Amino acid sequence: MRYLFIFLLSFFISFTSKADVLGFWTTIDDKTGKEKSVVQIYEEKGKIFGKVVDIFGNKEATAKIEGAPKIMGLQIIWDLEKNKNKYTGGKILDPQSGKIYGCEIWEENGNLIVRGKIAFLGRNQTWKRNTIHQ
């Protein structure tokens, strides 16, 4: 009976936790399939955010936005909120184009699916969990 209780408790905690998306994720270049950067997904004041914490290649690269800040350390995801099994209602910045899109993210098979969208149109990227930066 005690083992059943422990199992059910851990099962319930796993579904109510935000830990599924929090952590460090390696982004993959859509065109080349190569690792591009590491983004830290974190919670602040009940919302989910993401910032670039490492870049594979030119660490001095700048974003194509006003003031041209360095991509390293740049917040690229903000204001996501839990909505069933996804985090929705936020924004994502594409540092290379300077464009901002609607954003939603969710964990699927150990990967992070990141969807940037305008209205109902959008595209998904699959980010891989990064265990080195933990």
Write the pLDDT tens digit of every residue in 107-129.
999 999 999 999 888 899 999 99
pLDDT band at 25 (very low <50, low <70, confident <90, very high): very high
DSSP codes of every residue in 38-107: EEEEEEETTEEEEEEEEESS-TT-B-SSTT--BSTT-EEEEEEEEETTEEEEEEEEETTTTEEEEEEEEE
**Architecture of the structural domain at 18-129:** Beta Barrel (2.40)
Which pTM value belongs to this model? 0.82
